[in-house]
Amino acid sequence: MSDINREELGEWLSSYLDGELNREQEELIERRLREDESARRLLEELRRTADLVSSLPRHRAPTSISEDAMLHVERSELLGEPDAPQERLGGRRSPIFALVSMAAAICLLAIGLPFLIGDREPDTPLRQERLALAPEKSTDIEAGELGDVKMVSRLKDRRETSRTRRERTGIASTAAKSDERSSLLATADIGRKFGAGLGAASVRTHAFANETVRLKVTVQNEVQRDAVTERLTAYLAERHAVNLSDKMPDDAGKAAPAGSFYYPGDPSTNFTETNQRQILMRASRRELDGMMDELARVAPASDSVALVAGPFSIRGLERARTALYGFEEPVPAVATRRIVGDRREAEAIERDEAAWASPGQPPARKDDLFDGLFEAIGLDPKILSLAPTRESDADTADAETQELPDLTGTAIADAGEPETRMAEQAAWEDMRIHGKEGKRKRSAPAPAERPSLVDRRKKALDESWRRRDKLANVPESTAEEAPTYRAETEARDARPAGGLVVDRSTEPYVTLVVQVIVAGPDNGKPAPAVRRAKPTSGAKDKKRGSSQDER
């Protein structure tokens, strides 16, 4: 003890002061203190300093801290966000949880179907969040238009209380920073971040878990994982999708990218497990098709691909492919412009575009996730019942995987769903496809002959895609047209003088996260399978058609 320097002595004395020495060390230091005047002085200085620091005044935390924190927590709970702790517990889901999920899925469908048939947007959590995000004036919506008025008004009340308290505590300058809007944006999906003007740079801190749609590819080892990821990113690059990680350094904070993009995730932000890779991407149907083809080539088996969307998990490459189309939505009005060579054609395209995005049209329905899901599981959406059939009861015994419930039963239309809504919807779709004349051209079919809602919507979608293809001048099947497209692509990049710029911002895209994960004890468990509904007399044909589509 006598040969240690002053620095070491000081450390010993600090520890002695804080009661961090054992008995033997204490005796040593006390002996030194008895013998050494300078050690005693040093100890006194240290004690004095510690006392001065510990006597510094304390403030009570502003009450708005707990209120704001609880507002966020409550919101997470109410909206079922992925950051709610109880949702991420356990990792592996129990069969009971699966059954509860199925029941929830049925309820979701039961709630969503009237909106499908009517002209309202389904009251999804996304919609509720969007309502909460909207300016104050837009929250003054009639009660009937909100799915859960109590929840929204409660959030509003809490927000108001919180704001008032913040003003009272005099810390007004931070109110804006900690406003719910910013926390809502932090958890918003990428589409709404772009919509809010956050720009491409916002993907840097974007949590991929906020995306509704995930395409999960399970592989056996890290080599496969990297190969699949690289192949997909290479494919997207070949398709001229914008790589946001390349774009960000120069264009940080600037406009959202138009059209397709991809962003390989950041492990510190987007991966919960080290054995996975994730890509956030937005792709058109054509690109999605190409990507699924790539996956079919590189993924080990069709079953290793699953589409996870909210409570649904759809296993199998082709089912996932079909279901993905249900998530298409138009890209927000950002300049997606192309050069075309021929003025007459360009003017025709402009007219079509104007008709396509005409004001006063009913709300966009592209975010109906049910169509794709119905198609994927081979169901006619008109058919819905909470009571399973006897056949389906028998089948549940051998089900080892998580299954969606059998949704066979009574037709909604027969159960009193207003026929007028269906007619209005059909008329709207006709108008959208054929213009105003379409309504007159349509001859109302007898109820028994009327095509199902899925058929009508599928037809509408196919029609819209033919229209899109025409506008884009991209050949689908005619080999002769291919050079035109290539030339136009080159022309787009070169931007020749005299070309006409056409806004194509309404082209629908799907935003999703591709998750390539190595099979492990938790995450290697195959995604829950979706059992197809037992065929009823009305659904047999549908099922047969769907089976043929699968590989």
Partner 1 sequence: MTSGRIPRPVPLEDFELIEKVKAGKTEAYGELVRKYQDRVFNACWRICGHLEDARDLTQEAFLKAYEGLAGFRGQSGFYTWIFRVAVNLALSHRRQTQRRREFSFEQGPHPAGSQAKDLSRRVNRGQDDDPARAASETELQGVVARALQDLDDDQRAVVVLRDIEGFDYREISEILQIPPGTVKSRLHRARMSLYQTVRPAVTGDE
3-class SS of residue 318: helix
Distance in Å, CB of 63 to partner 1, minimum? 9
Q: Which residue lies nearer to partner 1 by CB, 173 or 420?
A: 173
Q: Cα 365 to chain center, whole Å?
A: 17
Q: How many CA atoms lie within 13 A of 502 on its CB side?
A: 28
Cα distances (angstroms) measured from residue 271 to each of 128, 208, 224, 282? 27, 8, 17, 19
The Cβ of residue 424 has, within 10 Å, a number of other Cβ atoms equal to 15
DSSP H helices, 404-473, are: 419-434, 437-441, 453-472
Residues that bind partner 1 (CB under 8 A): 7, 10-11, 13-15, 18, 20, 45-46, 48-50, 52-62, 64-66, 68-70, 72-74, 76-77, 83-89, 171, 173-174, 177-178, 183
Q: Which residue lies nearer to partner 1 by CB, 90 or 197?
A: 90
Distance CA 343, CA 313 (A): 47
Distance in Å, CB of 298 to partner 1, minimum? 32
Q: Which residue lies nearer to partner 1 by CB, 70 or 335?
A: 70
Q: Which residue lies nearer to partner 1 by CB, 176 or 494?
A: 176
Distance in Å, CB of 173 to partner 1, minimum? 6
Distance in Å, CB of 8 to partner 1, minimum? 9
Distance in Å, CB of 107 to partner 1, minimum? 18
Distance CA 391, CA 217 (A): 32
Distance in Å, CB of 166 to partner 1, minimum? 9
Cα distances (angstroms) measured from residue 498 to each of 349, 350, 494, 495, 501? 16, 16, 12, 9, 9
Distance CA 175, CA 170 (A): 10
3-class SS of residue 305: strand
Distance in Å, CB of 159 to partner 1, minimum? 15
Start-to-end CA distance of the chain, whole Å, equals 80
Q: What are phi and psi of 31, to 5 degrees?
A: -65, -45
Residue in the structure block whose two tokens are 């946001």:
244
Distance in Å, CB of 269 to partner 1, minimum? 12
Q: Which residue lies nearer to partner 1 by CB, 57 or 416?
A: 57
Distance in Å, CB of 266 to partner 1, minimum? 17
Q: Which of 418, 438, 429 is nearest to 362 (CA)?
A: 429
Distance in Å, CB of 165 to partner 1, minimum? 12
Amino acid, single-letter form, for residue 488: E
Distance CA 319, CA 325 (A): 10
Distance CA 4, CA 381 (A): 83
Q: Which residue lies nearer to partner 1 by CB, 174 or 358?
A: 174
What secondary structure does DSSP assign to 15-40, as a single string?
HHHTT-S-HHHHHHHHHHHHH-HHHH
Cβ atoms of 532 and 377 within 8 Å: the answer is yes
Q: Which residue lies nearer to partner 1 by CB, 14 or 243?
A: 14
Distance in Å, CB of 90 to partner 1, minimum? 9
Q: Which residue lies nearer to partner 1 by CB, 51 or 449?
A: 51
Cα distances (angstroms) measured from residue 293 to each of 225, 232, 317? 17, 10, 9
The three-point CA angle 526-527-532 to 5° equals 115
Distance CA 471, CA 462 (A): 14
Distance in Å, CB of 6 to partner 1, minimum? 10
Q: Which residue lies nearer to partner 1 by CB, 49 or 410?
A: 49
Residues 6+ apart with CB under 8 A from 379: 407, 408, 533, 539, 542
Burial class (CB in 10 A: 0-12, 13-18, 19+), 245: middle
Distance in Å, CB of 278 to partner 1, minimum? 18
Q: Which residue lies nearer to partner 1 by CB, 138 or 161?
A: 161
Q: Which residue lies nearer to partner 1 by CB, 98 or 296?
A: 98
Q: Which residue lies nearer to partner 1 by CB, 12 or 327?
A: 12
**Two structure tokens written together for 54:** 């510990």
Could you tell me the sign of the dihedral formed by the alpha carbons of 175, 181, 187, 192, in that order? negative
Q: Which residue lies nearer to partner 1 by CB, 91 or 538?
A: 91
Burial class (CB in 10 A: 0-12, 13-18, 19+), 221: exposed
